[in-house]
Amino acid sequence: MEKLKMHSPNLTEGNIAKLAELYPNCVVESKNEKGEVVKSIDFDLLRQELSGTIVEGPQERYHLNWPGKREALLTANAPIAKTLRPCREESVDFDTTKNLFIEGDNLDALKLLQETYLGKVKMIYIDPPYNTGNDFIYKDDFAESTEEYLKKSNQKDEQGNRLVANTDSNGRFHSDWLSMMYPRLKLARNLLDSDGVLCVSISEAELKNIQSLLNEIFGQQNFVNIISVYAKVSAGASGGGEDKKLKKNIEYIVIFTKSFDEFNTLSHLYTKRSLIDVINEMHDQGESWKYTSIFLDAGERVYLKKIKDGEGNQIDIYKRTGVQRTTINKVCKEEKITESEVYREYFGKIFSDTNAQSSIRTRVIDAVGSLNDNEILEVEYIPRSGRDKGRKVTHSYISNTVRRVIWLSDVADVSENEIVKKVKLGTFWDKFDYNNVGKEGEVPFPDGKKPIDLIRTCIKLYDGKNGLFMDFFAGSCSFAHAVMQENANDGGTRSYIAVQVPQEIDEKNMKYVPAIKFYNENNISLNVIEIGKERIRRAGKKIKEENATTAANLDIGFRVLKIDSSNMADVYYNPDAVEQNQLFKMAGNIKDDRRAEDLIFQVLLDWGVDLSLPIVKEYIANKEVFFVDTDALAACFVKDGLITETFCKELAKKQPRRVVFRDSGFKDDSVKINVEQIFKLMSPHTDVKTI
């Protein structure tokens, strides 16, 4: 039962509501005198709506704006005094894996990874909250200055779960979501390689806003596609709003690249159908099938001449004479075999021809003129654009009009003794099974999971079988699962970074009841992050078992790293703030509960060294030394003045690229200076630092 308001009506809100019915484009989100975000009227737009002539107002420009945008930009740029702490006991193959599982706020994670993985990620896939009114989003802390932000984050040992419900009754419903996404996407772009690609799964609720946001961050020229995905069961399954709206069965994937000029073409993505089925379907629809000619004998090849393209690059022209040609129908009649058998037997010799216009064809015609029926021209050159950009190709031409030869083998494959037609992938994807998606990965999770095959298709957008792939809204870790599965499928060596914040599961939510029973029976904590880890463990084991012969060396491990406050005490960042009577309590600048391995990972972050490199512990002169990837980094964190010149001479013989010591490990400044000189003499390329 609702309560009485017990106050007079808010007439302004009523007036805004009335205007919203007439002029919805004039209703915006803005801040009131208290700094609160409320719905208000854009009076310049309203005046224009009520005027027959152009009214004066602020200068117009095309841009995306919302209350809190400047604070979101500040949040993206502000430093944090945090680190990543390794957790061996929750990892799988900690010492050998190249995969990382980062536990904590993805904004913090993206900031911490900026030095190490700047421009090194090949593909990012994210499935962020769709902002439907029932989702949880990050409640970011906005700061007044980077100094304040640094101080604040250093003093907090644990931010905890900062996810908050974003209901559609929230006055800044879209603004909060945009403010959450903006800094994360901005930082994510920094991590992408120049040819890297970003895929964002989204629903219609924020489709327009996410595209506008990505246009601003990545540049509209780097937009690739919007994919419509037939989501079937998962989208609109509850039927909410279907009395007045059509049923929702489409979700979207928005694709951007770091640099469209550097991005690979997508010609390698296609589906396969039986060639004979395709031909019969075309005939039924009254369309003609063009690949009906066969070269029986390609004749003798001789060099003819060289010409130049429009940029002055060389084009070599060869001529073949004595060519013998026939057709599919003739071979069927003469050899008394079926059409399918002809395609299998002559597969590499079947072609079509076209007079499609191109600058290369025009130059060839000008240089050679017409051809006889038994002649072929072969043109070799390096295209400057298109799918063959940068690599030498050979194009063939026939007939007196110099028509381009198109080979069947360019658009079809032989698969298990059958010819299959390759159909280039389009922007409508409808071949994915959503019926059992909640059970994929051997661990049930009924909320927002995507089919593995859908994510594998996104992974293939990057044309390469190795490199670093990332998901910073990892959820139940479908993406990590998909990377392992794709590696097993094509022999790739892709590695991944998965980032997820701890998020408790509501035991009262009825949709989780069957899953919770499974978690309890298998001692899995009711937290999304623990479910994700368990899924990777189980999925990896199953994939390796199913591909024992072809994927014996498949990396199914992951190195768990947890975001925490800095290993360094406050005195390290603000020594001037420490009063004299406190100095004896702060003899060290490293927190008491931090281990040597914790320090190593903060050093790796600070130096920008790969966090997946192997770490080995050795003893030199009875002192513990950690070596990262043999010579990438040597770290010795002994204290109380135990670092000696003799020890450093032995360490310098290893000639590591970087060396780090604990500042309190030196007896005094003179020893510290002498150690620097030792490395300058014995290993001059070594970069020596202290913490």
Q: Which residue has the tokens 């970074």?
A: 497
pLDDT band at 688; cut points 50, 70, 90: very high
Cβ-contact 111, 80 below 8 angstroms: yes
Q: Is the pLDDT of residue 4 over 60?
A: no
Cα separation, 413 vs 45, whole angstroms:
58
* Full DSSP string of 506-544: -TT-GGGHHHHHHHHHTT--SBHHHHHHHHHHHHHHHHH
pLDDT at 308: 85
Average pLDDT over residues 501-518: 82
**pLDDT (tens digit, 9 = 90+) per residue, 608-654?**
999 999 999 999 999 999 999 999 999 999 988 899 999 999 999 99
Cβ-contact 176, 166 below 8 angstroms: yes
Q: Is the pLDDT of residue 168 over 70?
A: no
CA pseudo-torsion sign 324, 327, 328, 329: negative
Average pLDDT over residues 20-39: 75
Average pLDDT over residues 115-132: 92
Average pLDDT over residues 535-544: 94
Cβ-contact 600, 635 below 8 angstroms: yes
* Range in 31-35, 181-185, 214-218, 622-626 the model is least confident about: 31-35
Tell me if the pTM is above 0.75. Answer: yes
Average pLDDT over residues 44-68: 72
CA distances from 288 to 199, 285, 345, 347, 410 (A): 37, 9, 22, 19, 18
pLDDT band at 242; cut points 50, 70, 90: low
Query: Going edge to edge, which strands form the sheet with 82-86?
Result: 82-86, 559-565, 100-103, 495-500, 468-471, 121-126, 192-202, 250-257, 223-230, 428-429
Q: Is the pLDDT of residue 38 over 80?
A: no
Q: DSSP class of residue 273?
A: E
Other CB atoms closer than 10 Å to residue 511's CB: what's the count? 10
Name the E strands within 268-359. 270-274, 293-297, 300-308, 314-321, 324-327, 350-354
pLDDT at 515: 84
pLDDT band at 61; cut points 50, 70, 90: low
8-17, 56-65, 297-306, 481-490 — which one is most confidently predicted on average?
Answer: 481-490
Cβ-contact 651, 659 below 8 angstroms: yes
| 611: exposed, middle or buried (Cβ count in 10 Å: 0-12, 13-18, 19+) | buried
CA pseudo-torsion sign 64, 68, 70, 74: negative
Cβ-contact 232, 282 below 8 angstroms: no
Average pLDDT over residues 40-59: 73
Average pLDDT over residues 407-429: 86
Question: Which domains does the chain carry?
Answer: 12-61 (no CATH), 70-268+427-563 (3.40.50.150), 288-408 (no CATH), 568-690 (no CATH)
pLDDT band at 237; cut points 50, 70, 90: very low
* Range in 68-72, 199-203, 272-276 the model is least confident about: 68-72
Q: Check residues 482 and 284 and name the one with the higher pLDDT.
A: 482
- Among residues of the chain, what percentage have pLDDT more than 90? 39
**pLDDT (tens digit, 9 = 90+) per residue, 349-402?**
999 988 877 777 888 888 888 888 788 888 888 887 766 777 888 888 888 888
SS3 177: helix
Instruction: Name the average pLDDT for the chain.
Output: 84
| 408: exposed, middle or buried (Cβ count in 10 Å: 0-12, 13-18, 19+) | buried
Name the E strands within 555-640. 559-565, 615-620, 623-628, 633-636
Average pLDDT over residues 193-212: 93
Q: Is the pLDDT of residue 594 over 60?
A: yes
* Range in 73-77, 365-369, 426-430, 674-678 the model is least confident about: 73-77
**pLDDT (tens digit, 9 = 90+) per residue, 463-479?**
889 999 999 999 999 99
Q: Check residues 361 and 224 and name the one with the higher pLDDT.
A: 224
pLDDT band at 262; cut points 50, 70, 90: confident
Cβ-contact 405, 395 below 8 angstroms: yes
Q: Is the pLDDT of residue 585 over 70?
A: no
Q: Check residues 15 and 204 and name the one with the higher pLDDT.
A: 204
Q: Is the pLDDT of residue 142 over 60?
A: no
pLDDT at 8: 42
